[in-house]
């Protein structure tokens, strides 16, 4: 009997400890006495499964890459969600669930710059490429050393890749200093490089008409990218070694250069997660997350409700709009509950509701969505009383009458039919089947 009591006491303590852990991990920040009917805590629990309420279905018809908690670039299998981390200069921080649109890497042999056949890395000026000279971001020994063979101008590039115009293009590469500190890179029919300081992790000169980003991914590696509106029928990826900012030249020592890995050329105005290629282009399918059927009808209240979203976004998509979340009737905007998205052209948050194929309201707010910057949004809806808050402030309120009784699907981080993905992270998503008061919504979004 004593052994059975011991086992029971041990199990009871374990269950109490688990409950306390869940409380400390995030439930304590829910409004007192008001638990959500849906709570997906991607960031703290590092899962796509719901802590409260139905677990959403998730699909992606391909593999996809992400950074784990140790800073290693990993590959998630088909239909497996990605919990992504970013490096803040000293440690890796969990950002939550990564939700992206479909993209294609048009650059062949993204990890092997020694392939110089037609259509690949065949345009070489004054550079020597030596394969497998360093540890790459995925922890493999596949980083190539690129170094000048003669002092002066140098470049390595791909042949042109046909793209649909008008459109935007983005080129990116992982680079690390190895005796030389400056990377130059561009996507153009002419000569318009932008510069990246691999010693300090900062941008140098960025040519007019380009948008450049440099992201620290640890161990001296940086992901460098350049985006711009394409002006010709082909897109290119060129890069090279420089001795200084705004210089197209580098001296040749015989040993000094830069390590490179993971080249990407994609249609779009910003870089997305890395898509590895070999002898042909490769596509990463879109992430699709939704709650439908009896799971949806079991928690959603058509008459009133509240939602709190925490996350970040690249701030624009190839579909012009970034949808943070949406309840929709499936394949059209004929009926859509109050939802929140940003306008790709202005990065302004918008607040919209449709019923019977018409807008009840469609408001562009003054709140700007900064790229890759965390934001907290809260919304309460009820006929005649709908409000939207961002970071603790009310940015829109409406008194329109409406009904959302025809809604049947709750899309997460995207629009109807799994389109217009957020292209960023969802840290946490909560839904209440009642209209919370504005003071509570303010606290949730602060």
pLDDT tens digits, 220-265: 999 999 998 877 777 889 999 999 999 999 999 999 999 999 999 9
* CA angle centred on 244, ends 239 and 249, rounded to 5°: 55
- Cα distances (angstroms) measured from residue 415 to each of 270, 309, 326, 337, 374: 19, 15, 6, 12, 20
pLDDT at 284: 98
Percent of the chain with pLDDT over 90: 61
The verdict on 418 and 384 lying in the same domain is: yes
CA pair distance 18, 226, nearest whole angstrom: 46
Name the residue range of residue 388's domain.
30-67+286-444
E strands in 139-254: 143-148, 152-153, 155-157, 161-162, 168-178, 182-186, 194-197, 202-203, 211-216, 221-229, 234-235, 238-242, 249-250
- Which DSSP symbol is given to 254? S
pLDDT of 446 > 80? The answer is yes
Identify the pLDDT of residue 345.
54
- Average pLDDT of the residues of the chain: 86
Query: Are 333 and 439 found together in one domain?
Result: yes
Residue that terminates a domain, selected from 283, 301, 325:
283
pLDDT on residue 8: 39
Q: Do 278 and 136 share a structural domain?
A: yes
Domains held by the chain: number:
2
For residues 370 and 352, membership in a common domain is answered with: yes
Rounded-to-integer distance, Cα 227 and Cα 52, Å: 40
Residue 354 lies in a domain: yes
Does one domain contain both 290 and 429? yes
What pLDDT is stored for residue 30 in this prediction?
64
Q: Answer for the pair 290, 185: CB distance below 8 angstroms, yes or no.
A: no
Q: Pairing state of beta strands 143-148 and 168-178?
A: unpaired
pLDDT tens across 105-158, in order? 999 999 999 999 988 999 999 999 999 999 999 999 999 999 999 999 999 998
Backbone angles phi, psi at 433, to 5 degrees: -90, 30
Burial of 1 (0-12, 13-18, 19+ CB in 10 A): exposed
Looking at 283, 305, 327, the residue that finishes a domain is: 283
pLDDT class of 168 with cuts at 50, 70, 90: confident
On whether both 256 and 317 belong to a single domain, the answer is no
**Residue 347 and residue 316 in contact, taking contact as beta carbons nearer than 8 Å:** yes
Helix (H) or strand (E) run with residue 293 in it: helix 293-297
């Amino acid at each position: 009997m004593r052994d059975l009591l011991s086992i029971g006491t041990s199990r009871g303590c374990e269950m109490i400890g688990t409950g306390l852990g869940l409380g400390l991990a995030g439930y304590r920040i829910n409004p007192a006495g008001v638990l959500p009917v849906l709570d997906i805590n991607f960031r703290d629990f590092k899962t796509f499964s719901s802590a409260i309420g139905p677990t959403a279905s998730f699909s992606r018809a391909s593999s996809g890459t992400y950074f784990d908690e140790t800073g290693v670039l990993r590959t998630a299998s088909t239909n497996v969600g990605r919990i992504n981390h970013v490096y803040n200069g000293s440690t890796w921080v969990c950002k939550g669930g990564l939700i992206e649109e479909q993209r294609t890497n048009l650059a062949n042999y993204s990890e092997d710059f020694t392939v110089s056949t037609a259509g690949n890395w065949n345009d070489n000026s004054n550079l020597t490429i030596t394969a497998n000279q360093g540890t790459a971001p995925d922890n493999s020994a596949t980083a190539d050393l690129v170094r000048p063979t003669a002092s002066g101008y140098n470049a390595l590039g791909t042949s042109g890749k046909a793209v649909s115009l008008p459109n935007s293009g983005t080129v990116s590469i992982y680079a690390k200093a190895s005796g030389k500190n400056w990377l130059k890179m561009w996507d153009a029919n002419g000569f318009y490089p932008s510069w990246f300081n691999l010693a300090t992790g900062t941008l140098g000169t960025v040519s007019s008409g380009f948008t450049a980003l440099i992201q620290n991914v640890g161990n001296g590696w940086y992901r460098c990218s350049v985006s711009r509106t394409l002006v010709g029928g082909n897109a290119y990826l060129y890069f090279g070694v420089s001795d200084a900012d705004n210089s197209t030249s580098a001296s040749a020592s015989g040993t000094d250069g830069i390590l490179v890995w993971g080249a990407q050329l994609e249609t779009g105005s910003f870089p997305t997660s890395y898509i590895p290629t070999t002898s042909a282009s490769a596509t990463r399918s879109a992430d699709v997350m939704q709650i439908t059927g009896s799971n949806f009808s079991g928690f959603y209240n058509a008459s009133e409700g509240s939602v709190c979203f925490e996350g970040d976004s690249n701030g624009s998509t190839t579909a012009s709009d970034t949808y943070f979340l949406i309840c929709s009737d499936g394949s059209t905007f004929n009926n859509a509950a109050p939802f929140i998205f940003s306008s790709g052209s202005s990065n302004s948050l918008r607040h919209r509701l449709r019923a019977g194929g018409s807008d009840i309201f469609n408001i562009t707010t003054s709140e700007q969505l900064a790229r890759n910057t965390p934001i907290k949004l809260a919304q309460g809806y009820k006929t005649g009383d709908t409000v939207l808050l961002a970071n603790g402030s009310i940015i829109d309120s409406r008194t329109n009458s409406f009904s959302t009784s025809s809604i049947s699907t709750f899309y997460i981080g995207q629009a109807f039919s799994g389109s217009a993905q957020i292209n960023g992270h969802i840290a946490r998503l909560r839904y209440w089947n009642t209209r919370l008061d504005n003071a509570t919504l303010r606290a949730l979004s602060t």
